[in-house]
Chain A
């Protein structure tokens, strides 16, 4: 049973639940640094505006938010110096939906600066630590959210996923991470990294909790033109249903790609469980996913370079105190405000969009992306789901990959394709590696078919838990 159902069935006291959360945070967060700031007070009353309704599907459920989701009256920084002190003037759509269903917003979690990273190490606040081994990274960029859930500080946190930023930290911290279909959840109020790839999703301790949270935050939003007017299923209803007859594809391009043995082993165990339950396992091919990382590191920085242009020191955020010229206002505010990885991506994107390079980089990357989407569409005519590992390894040590951006980028090799194709994907724990660190199993589904995706993830979680 998931945390939320259990909480409701026991008719637990909301106040004592909040107390427990705050106590756990007080105890563990000094070491883990999952939170940028705890925003709610002892009574569960969050800072201005964010007062939960008295009823609803998530009544009394404590939820943490990644520091790139706007809550009216809360500071929001995206873990960047450039936004320090900036207070959001409005609620993100997901925040409105959580509050109207009674959720209690606990605070803001740490992340890689503007979600640029896979370890939380690019945060202006310093890294979050992995609850399973504090010398290791929690993954990223939603590492604070993953660590907060894994360390029992909150049962639910929201993250955002542009290339694996929910799923990879979920795998590293041993929790469930769901990236919904592009357009399933409104992006209004999510500070944009790469607009065509970003999605908000839940990190939880169970598939059921993820399903319940998705039910609340999903759905069309007139303030986000890219949100889809597709009916929202009651995802939790699908859980526990049979997986017999489901066709699950194993993309051969994702297997034997240098994942560590425990990852491969966990992956095989999950696939076998599904097969034992009557799912049909077939090998499939997605040749263009080989270029996923390359395509991603053109498209995402291009969009990011433009999305981050608004941080110019003119209206909000960091502003150089004494510029002599307009150019100096921009240069100094941005030079001091952005960290190294943010600068790297802005320069990468600016370069790739420049006249003379646009065709070779952006256009070509978009062509490959479209080809990749066609391949996924073809494959999904034959199979219902795709199964892969989530990340090639368990959590790496803090500092281990910061000197080598390319190595860091490769930790998203299995997750990036789902963002490029816009399809939903979920990561669930599949075991532990030799160092006792969690590793993850990923399922990808058809666009807007989160029901099937979650049903299969639930079955694996269930059997894996029973197996021990």
Chain B
């Protein structure tokens, strides 16, 4: 298979975080009984008119600002006309000529360093309903989703690998969530992605024929579908054949894409300005306010974590993977000496414990976890009162379950380390007396013998001795 230059562009539909639909007062709750969140307006009954949900427009502007796009100053909607049973009015109210945001960019990490993925635009539109094909061969329509507000975010065709596409989606989701624009939960259909992909011999060649891929319901699907499609197209091109411009569906079970429709059947959407909604202008003051009150975005936060807490990019990234964990970190960082140790605890044993117990990050909230107790545990480890291993494996889980103070658990469990020299010196002397051989070896320059002696001492104290202190005392006794 030859090597090709790969060109990928993504179209993402993000559900805006509103309680009600874009043009009527129906709820947008996920998982409701089919057709239970439907009214005459979103069902497209004769005589109804759309009324724009102001919140949708505000979130749209905010999304534009968060993605670095130029927010619209003139807000106008268009009708996109086509027939389908899940589209009640026979047209979708969308934005064609005046998108809510133009341009924009998303920064991602790639093997060659960070890359800025440029956006073409983002626009507001209403979702269609959902078709359910039942076993008898009939099709049912659920209009709960009809009229749910969406932002369609279109990237430039500049992504080069399936991994980059995935990184772009992850970063995009993080931005939308941080800005409070969308919950962007793929499992709930709040974030959906279509991809355009084409291959060409080299980056200097004109763009090849593109294929659109739909039905990718997770980040993994996106990566796998693109990887499959690259191989498929490369084989077609290798064989000297032409790529057919078409829409293909990803079949996650079969692990392949299959043709859905070719371009000949493509629609002419006959866009024209929606006459039922009055266009309006957005003033600079509003945009300024949105910029000023915009939440901290993921990239800014990561940089701040490095600067403020001395974390490296990797640790900051791991910490930020969970919002709740991140919040606990920020709360406790000022009350504890080492941000790095705190971050390691939170992303290591704490996260592992949550996963094991099937808990979300909320379980770390001040109401549910004793923050002072947690810090006490860290201090106990720092002071050599308990080994890190015992603290992670025994005391922390017990602390989370019982809510007892770690010092109390420590006392009750007998896991406390022996760190006071008086007790240790007696034990050290006993070990030195009963192992003359290794003592002689050490004195003859075989430093390995010291490790053996430490081991014997730990054995004698049944693991409770503080190994660092033991080592120091042995060395002193042996005259170093």
A302 nearest CB neighbor, chain B only: B272
Kindly supply a per-residue 1/0 record for chain B positions 74-112, scoring 1 wherever the CB is within 8 Å of any chain A CB and 0 otherwise. 000001010101001111000000000000000000000
In the assembled complex, A230 has its CB within 8 A of some CB on chain B: no
A291 proximal to B (CB < 8 A) = no
Q: Is the CB of B90 within 8 A of A309?
A: yes
Q: Is the CB of B278 within 8 A of A226?
A: yes
Instruction: Count residues of chain A with CB under 8 A from any CB of chain B.
Output: 45
B272 and A225 contact, CB distance less than 8 A: no
Contacts of B44 in A (CB 8 A): 310, 315
Q: Is B40 an interface residue (CB 8 A)?
A: yes
Option from A191, A226, A354, A358 in Cβ contact (under 8 Å) with B46:
A191
Q: Are B272 and A353 in contact (CB under 8 A)?
A: yes
User: How does the 8 Å CB contact mask read for A72-85 relative to B, with 1 for contact and 0 for none?
Assistant: 00001010000100
Flag whether A89 is at the interface (Cβ < 8 A). yes
| A135 located at the interface, meaning its Cβ lies under 8 Å from any Cβ of chain B in the complex | no
Within the complex, the shortest CB–CB distance from B271 to chain A, in Å, comes to 8
Check if B381 is an interface residue, CB within 8 A of chain A. Answer: no
The verdict on B48 contacting chain A, using a C-beta distance below 8 Å, is yes
Given A90-B40, A309-B81, A315-B44, also A195-B276 (CB < 8 A): yes
Bound CA span A231–B79, Å: 31
Min CB–CB distance B307 → chain A (angstroms): 48
Chain B positions within 8 Å of A188 at CB level: 47-49
**Cβ of B45 < 8 Å from any Cβ of A?**
yes
Interface string of B265-291 (1 = CB under 8 A from A): 000101110011110000000000000
Contact of B270 among A86, A187, A312, A354 (CB under 8 A): A354
Contact status B272-A362, CB under 8 Å: yes
**Chain A hits for B278, CB < 8 A:** 225-226
Is B51 on the interface with A (CB-CB < 8 A)? yes
Min CB gap B470→A, angstroms: 79
Within 8 A of B (CB), among A51-88: 68-70, 76, 78, 83, 86, 88
Give the contacting residue for B40; candidates A76, A86, A89, A311; CB below 8 A.
A89
Cα distance A364–B196 when bound, in Å?
34
Mark out the residues of chain B between 241 and 286 whose CB falls within 8 Å of any chain A CB in the assembled complex: 268, 270-272, 275-278
Verify B40–A312 contact, CB threshold 8 A: no
Flag if A358 contacts B276 (CB, 8 Å): no
Most chain B beta carbons < 10 A, residue from A306, A315, A326: A306
**A189 pairs with B52, CB closer than 8 A:** no
C-alpha spacing A90/B277, complex, angstroms: 21
Q: Is there a chain B Cβ closer than 8 Å to A36's Cβ?
A: no
Known A353-B81, A353-B270; contact A225-B47, beta-carbon cutoff 8 A: no
Contacts of A302 in B (CB 8 A): 272
Nearest-Cβ distance from residue A311 to partner chain B, whole angstroms: 8
Q: Which of chain A's residues 211-245 have a Cβ closer than 8 Å to chain B?
A: 222-226
**CB <8 Å contact, A226 and B47:** no
- Residues of B contacting A190 in the complex (Cβ-Cβ under 8 angstroms): 47
Q: Are B88 and A310 in contact (CB under 8 A)?
A: yes
Given A195-B276, A225-B51: A306 in contact with B88 (beta carbons within 8 A): no
Is there a chain B Cβ closer than 8 Å to A355's Cβ? yes
Interface residues of A in 155-211 (CB under 8 A from B): 187-192, 194-196
> In the docked arrangement, what's the CA distance between A196 and B79, Å?
14
Cβ-based interface call for A330 (8 A): yes
Number of interface residues of B (CB under 8 A): 28
Q: Are A306 and B270 touching (Cβ within 8 A)?
A: yes
B43 at interface, CB cutoff 8 A: yes
B275 touches A309 (CB 8 A): no
Could you tell me the distance between the alpha carbons of A68 and B46 in the complex, rounded to whole angstroms?
9
Q: Does B49 lie within 8 Å of A224, measured CB to CB?
A: yes
Interface set, chain A 306-344, CB cutoff 8 A to B: 306, 308-312, 314-316, 326, 330
**Which listed residue (B89, B141, B275) contacts A310, Cβ 8 A?**
B89
A350 part of interface (Cβ distance < 8 Å):
yes
Residues of B within 8 Å of A303, CB to CB, are 272, 275
Over the window 48-72 of chain B, the binary record of Cβ atoms lying under 8 Å from chain A Cβ atoms (1 yes, 0 no) is 1111100000000000000000000
Determine which of A194, A309, A355 lies in contact with B91 in the assembled complex, contact meaning CB atoms within 8 Å: A309
Contact of A309 (CB < 8 Å), options: B83, B141, B276: B83
Does any Cβ of B come within 8 Å of A92's Cβ?
yes
Instruction: Provide the residues of chain A in CB contact with B271, threshold 8 Å.
Output: 353, 358
Q: Which residues of B contact A89 (CB under 8 A)?
A: 40, 45
Identify which of A86, A223, A311, A362 contacts B51 (C-beta below 8 A).
A223
Across the two chains, which residue of chain B brings its CB closest to A76?
B46
Contact B272 A223 (CB under 8 A): no
Chain A's nearest CB lies how many Å from the CB of B21?
A: 14
CB distance from A183 to the nearest CB of B (A): 9
Chain A residues 265 to 322 lying within 8 A of chain B, measured CB to CB, are: 302-303, 305-306, 308-312, 314-316
Among A68, A225, A312, contact of B276 (Cβ-Cβ < 8 Å): A225
| Chain A residue nearest in CB terms to B51 | A225
Known: A195-B276, A350-B270. A312 touches B49 (CB 8 A): no
A194 to B52, CA, bound (A): 20
Complex contacts, B90 vs chain A, CB 8 Å: 306, 308-312
Q: Are A70 and B272 in contact (CB under 8 A)?
A: no
Residues of A contacting B48 with CB < 8 Å?
188-189
Q: Establish whether residues A195 and B47, one from each chain, have CB atoms under 8 Å apart when the complex forms.
A: no
- Residue ID in chain A nearest B86 by CB atoms: A314
Give the residues in chain B near A194, CB-CB below 8 Å: 275
Q: Is the CB of A314 within 8 A of B141?
A: yes
Expressed in whole angstroms, the Cα–Cα distance for A367 and B48 within the complex equals 28
Q: CB distance A189 to B47 under 8 Å?
A: yes
Give B442 Cβ to nearest chain A Cβ, in Å.
88
CA distance in complex: A316, B48 (Å) = 14
What residues of chain B lie closer than 8 Å to A224, measured between beta carbons? 49, 51
Q: Is the CB of B47 within 8 A of A192?
A: yes
By beta carbon, the residue of chain B nearest A317 is B46
Cα of A226 to Cα of B52 in the assembled complex, Å: 11
List CB contacts (< 8 Å) of B401-444 with chain A.
none
Residues of B close to A192: CB separation below 8 A: 46-47, 276
B40 near A223 with CB under 8 A, answer: no
Residues of chain A within 8 A (CB-CB) of B79 are 306
Q: Is the CB of B47 within 8 A of A358?
A: no
A330 x B83 contact (CB < 8 A): yes
Closest to A70 in B: B47
Report the separation of the CA atoms of residues A1 and B90 in the bound assembly, to the nearest whole angstrom.
48
Instruction: Please give, as numbers and ranges, the residues of chain B lying within 8 Å of A314 by CB-CB distance.
Output: 85, 88, 141
CA distance A350 to B271 in the complex (A): 11
Q: Which residues of chain B from 1 to 57 have a CB within 8 Å of any chain A CB? A: 40, 43-52
Instruction: Among B46, B85, B270, point to the contact of A83 (Cβ < 8 A).
Output: B46
**Nearest A-chain residue to B280, judged by Cβ:** A225
**B89 and chain A: residue at smallest CB distance:** A310
In angstroms, how far is the closest chain B Cβ from the Cβ of A228? 9
Residues of A within 8 A of B45 (CB): 88-90, 315-316
Interface centre among B45, B270, B271 (most CB of A within 10 A): B270
Taking the closest CB of chain A, its distance from the CB of B49, in whole angstroms, is 5
Task: With CB as the reference atom, state the residue of chain A lying closest to B84.
Answer: A326
Contact A354 B268 (CB under 8 A): yes
Contact B46 A86 (CB under 8 A): yes
Answer whether A355 and B268 are a contact pair too, CB < 8 Å, given A195-B275, A303-B275.
Answer: yes
In the bound complex, CA of A314 to CA of B128 (Å): 14
Assembly CA distance A326 to B49 (angstroms): 27
Distance (Å) between the CB of B391 and the closest chain A CB? 61
13 contacts between A and B (CB under 8 A): A86-B46, A89-B45, A195-B276, A225-B49, A226-B276, A226-B277, A303-B272, A306-B90, A309-B81, A309-B91, A314-B88, A315-B141, A316-B45
- Besides the known contacts A226-B277, A312-B83, 7 further A-B residue pairs in the complex with CB atoms under 8 A apart: A192-B46, A306-B270, A310-B44, A353-B272, A354-B268, A355-B268, A358-B271
A interface residues, Cβ below 8 angstroms from B: 68-70, 76, 78, 83, 86, 88-90, 92, 187-192, 194-196, 222-226, 302-303, 305-306, 308-312, 314-316, 326, 330, 350, 353-355, 358, 362
Of all A-B residue pairs in the complex, the 4 with the closest CB atoms, nearest first, are: A309-B90, A353-B270, A195-B275, A196-B275
Q: Which B residues are within 8 Å of any A CB, using their own CB?
A: 40, 43-52, 79, 81, 83, 85, 88-91, 141, 268, 270-272, 275-278
